[in-house]
Structure 1
Amino acid sequence: MSNVLAIDVGNSRIKVGLFKVDADHVLPTCKQAITFSADQPFPWRDMEHWQDWSHDLNLTSVIAATNPTHLANVLNSWPTDRKPPLEVSSPEALPLTIDLLEPNRVGIDRVLNAVAANRVRVPGRPIVIVDSGTATTVDVVTADGVFAGGAILAGFELAARSLHRYTALLPLISIDELHEAEPSPIGKETRGALQSGLYWGQVGAIRELVAQMTRSQKPSVEPNTDMILTGGGAELLRPHFPAAISTPHLALQGLALTCLHDH
């Protein structure tokens, strides 16, 4: 059994998780986790009560990033009494076969998701990964365990901010509003119409992408099965994909698995 501190540095948020990795679990078990804005200082003090972080100065740490500036900020603040983290920067270094035209240009978070999804995928069956964050990604791991690529679209918050920023009169819809209640498909005023478009547009886009992707796989599968949900918007999507596996820390789990593979 090993403990691993995994750090996923995104464009909007940084996710940190302390995981126990052992043979009794398919995926690493999350013992502690924190998510914070990438523009904020790294919350080292908030982690002082994490037992295996505070007492184990030789704890294995691993970090991956989709934003080089935020990555540099984290590394520059790294405690001097701690072993520096292993940096995972190349998708081709992961324990995963990648079938893309330019493998080294794919977002590291997408392939880390695939590393973890491969552990829960039913042998001989493909799986679709939906990661709802700043961007929503819908990716396929084939029945042979190969990352085959997928689709990228604007996530809930990015779409809301874009509509507000690039129009003169449309208000900003917060993600909290969408969590409060499922919006009516027919908005009776501008705010309701925006909520409908953001919510049902995202659900509909994902549903169609999943349907197209699953039909393209051998063996073919029905939409909403052999599917995994992750990311900050996963809770909004869960009611519409009830058969999907929901795993909030998928990329961090893939990062922990990668770290142990490299060791």
Structure 2
Amino acid sequence: MIVTIDAGNSRIKWAAHDGQRWQDRGVQATADVARLADDLGRWPENVRAVVCNVAGKAVGDSISSLLARRGARVSFLKASAEACGVRSSYEIPQQLGADRWAALIGARAALGGACLVVCAGTATTVDLLDGDGVFRGGLILPGFDLMRAALARNTAQLPLAEGSYREQPRNTMDAIVSGCLQAQLGAIERMFRSIADEPGARCLLTGGTAPRLAAHLNIPFQLMDNLILDGLLRFAASPGS
């Protein structure tokens, strides 16, 4: 069995794969990383675990310690110049976030063609993967909820808005929600232009805010439940991982 763990800024997601299919999965707040111990009894001892961690050293150390109690064989995915059919054109490949690298690996395995890989969580990342499997670069911007929170925190009279998306908003709540969504959608659709003419090109969307973005996106897209976990599984099966 292979256990994949995606430790993000806000949430830790995990799933267990028996070699044929996903068997079990869970999610919890990153701040409650110690609660991962509650799930350890559901996994065999000496399990193989592959981890993607962008939540900092303390979280990574906690995960390592918890897995060690079960004798797990643990490896942490790090970005590299090439892995699993994906080649990086990042100026310093090792500086790419492990979550972005895992998502690109998962996208290559899922589609095998040109795609825009969007991870919509605390931050939104928008990464270009061409038909030859070359990661050509990407964007990082505040996620939808972080944008709303920034307006509420840094302005005197704007609230944490719970409005609705409108093409032409006519109240403050809708104006904030629509503006934050338009910023996300605009970044995604502008980046997609460079691969729009490639056969079968589409946007692969993952993350907690992905469904909200998908409702208003005007490019070909596909929602992916756990693209980062899919990438970790692909990496775990690769030679030398």
TM-score normalised by L of structure 2? 0.86
Match of 2:77 among 74, 88, 97: 88
| 1:188 paired to 2:176 | no
Following superposition of structure 1 onto structure 2, how do residues 105-184 of structure 1 map, counting pairs within 5 Å?
A: 105-122=95-112, 125-173=113-161, 177=162, 182-184=164-166
2:188 is the alignment partner of 1:206: yes
Offset of 1:238 from its aligned partner?
1.9
Q: Rate the CA distance shift 1:247–1:172 in 2: closer, same or farther, 3 A.
A: same
Q: Hey, what's the Cα distance between the residues in 2 that align with 1:101 and 1:4?
A: 32
Contact 1:8–1:252, Cα closer than 8 Å, also in 2: yes
**Which structure 2 residues correspond to residues 234-253 of structure 1 after superposition, within 5 A?**
234-241=210-217, 243-253=220-230
AA aligned to 2:216 is H
Query: Take 1:108 and 1:99, find their aligned partners in 2: how far apart are those partners?
Result: 15
* 2:8 aligned residue: 10
Q: Is the 8 A contact 1:91 1:108 kept in 2?
A: no
Instruction: Specify whether residues 111 and 81 from structure 1 end up closer, same or farther in structure 2 by C-alpha distance, changes over 3 A only.
Output: closer
**Residues in 1 aligned to 2:191 and 2:51: alpha-carbon distance in whole angstroms:** 30
Report the counterpart of residue 97 of structure 1 in structure 2: 87
For residue 77 of structure 2, what is the amino acid of its counterpart? V
In 1: Cα distance, 2:214 partner to 2:70 partner: 42
Cα drift, residue 32 of structure 1: 2.2
Conserved in 2, the CA contact under 8 Å of 1:121 and 1:226?
no
Contact 1:5 1:17 in 2 (8 A): yes
Structure 2, unaligned stretches of length 5 or more?
none
Counterpart residue number, 1:25: none
- For the residue of structure 2 that corresponds to 1:204, the secondary structure is helix
What CA RMSD, in Å, does the superposition of the two structures yield over aligned residues? 2.4
Task: Give aligned pairs, total.
Answer: 237
Task: Measure the CA separation in 1 of the matches of 2:75 and 2:82.
Answer: 12
Secondary structure of 1:42's aligned partner: helix
**SS in structure 1 opposite 2:169?**
coil
Aligned CA distance change for structure 1 residues 90 and 201 (closer, same or farther; 3 Å): closer
Q: Which amino acid aligns with 1:39?
A: A
- After TM superposition, give the deviation of residue 236 of structure 1 in Å: 0.8
Q: 1:32 aligns with which of 21, 24, 34?
A: 24
